[in-house]
Amino acid sequence: MGIENQQKNKDHYEGLYKEEQVKNILHWIHNLDAFLNSATTTETSWFAIYKNNFRDRLAGKKVLEMGCGDCTNAAVMAALGADVYANDIADSSGRIIQVLNEQYKFQHPIKFIPGDFIENNLEGNKFDYVIGKAFLHHLEIPLEEKFLAETARLLKADGEARFFEPAVNFKLLDEVRWYIPVGNRPSKFQRKKFRKWKKYDPHPDRSFSSKHFETVGRKFFEEVKIYPVGTLERFSRMYKWGKKQNRFKRWALKTEQKIPSGLNRILSRSQLIVCRQPLTKSVYQEENGNK
């Protein structure tokens, strides 16, 4: 079952990342401040991953990005002076990194780790940050645990993991969502079409609740903190793409942080999960029943 989901992800994403995308990425890293000022105030994943001044904490740090996708974030972190290692199940991500390294003088060229990351040979206790942007929710739960165990092994004792993921804390609200068609996803009312779409969808059926991420995170880390994102921002879909929509997103991402935390968590669309103080293997094996 796990392999089938991984193969689905590889098939889905392999063809999506193209070397032509390098031109855009180069433009963004040549205009880094303008890019980050815009992305971190209007795009939920960038807003979350760069929360709490992450941008200013990267220079000289050793960072691993899991599920690096089209490599925009890996390139941005490297352009900010980080020593970036990146992995994705899609080999096309590696080809993008190769071209980026040829065309931009990073202080530390980006290192791509191809294939099954769980089999990596990286030395433990060496990374300042491990990042996953819209990544963990693509894994079935047993594989997610393996990635989190690797995260804990690779991080320094004072290191930090940051994951941006969808949040489903209000089942009814989520169920309604499936009946509204979005992009190429048909409504659940169109049963045949929906079943056909689901067959190729790279997201496994699993929990995306904050409680789940807290529970699994605490198996491998002393500290797990959840930041809800998107409670108001989700309404930006009512606007057409453009300046008005961006203005709304900026307002929403700022304003929703003032919503009482319990309510914000229930209504949020996404979440930033920050894990600190990794447990050593012997400690988490003892705490979680030797496995």
Ligand X SMILES: C[S@@+](CC[C@H](N)C(=O)[O-])C[C@H]1O[C@@H](n2cnc3c(N)ncnc32)[C@H](O)[C@@H]1O
- Binding residues (CB under 6 A) for ligand X: these are 6, 9, 13, 45, 67-70, 87-90, 117, 133-135, 138-139
Query: Which spans in 15-56 are helix H?
Result: 22-30, 32-42, 44-49
d(CA 149, CA 146): 5
The CA-CA-CA angle for residues 139, 67, 269, to 5°, reads 65
Output 67 or 278, the one with its CB closest to ligand X: 67
Closest approach, Cβ 171 to ligand X, in A, equals 23
Nearer to ligand X by C-beta: 162 or 234? 162
| Helix (H/G/I), strand (E/B), else coil: 4 | helix
Q: Are 65 and 96 in contact (CB under 8 A)?
A: no
Taking the least distance from each CB to ligand X, the nearer of 114 and 189 is 114
Residue 152's closest CA among 2, 6, 282, 291? 282
Tell me how far apart the alpha carbons of residues 265 and 230 are, in angstroms, rounded to a whole number: 10
Residue of minimal Cβ distance to ligand X? 69
Query: Nearest distance from residue 191's CB to ligand X, in Å?
Result: 26
Whole-number Å distance between alpha carbons of 166 and 159: 23
Nearest to ligand X of 88, 160 (CB atom): 88
Closest distance between ligand X and the C-beta of residue 18, in Å?
13
- Write down the least CB distance from residue 282 to ligand X, Å: 26
* Minimum CB distance to ligand X, residue 163 (Å): 10
Nearer to ligand X, 68 or 155 (CB): 68
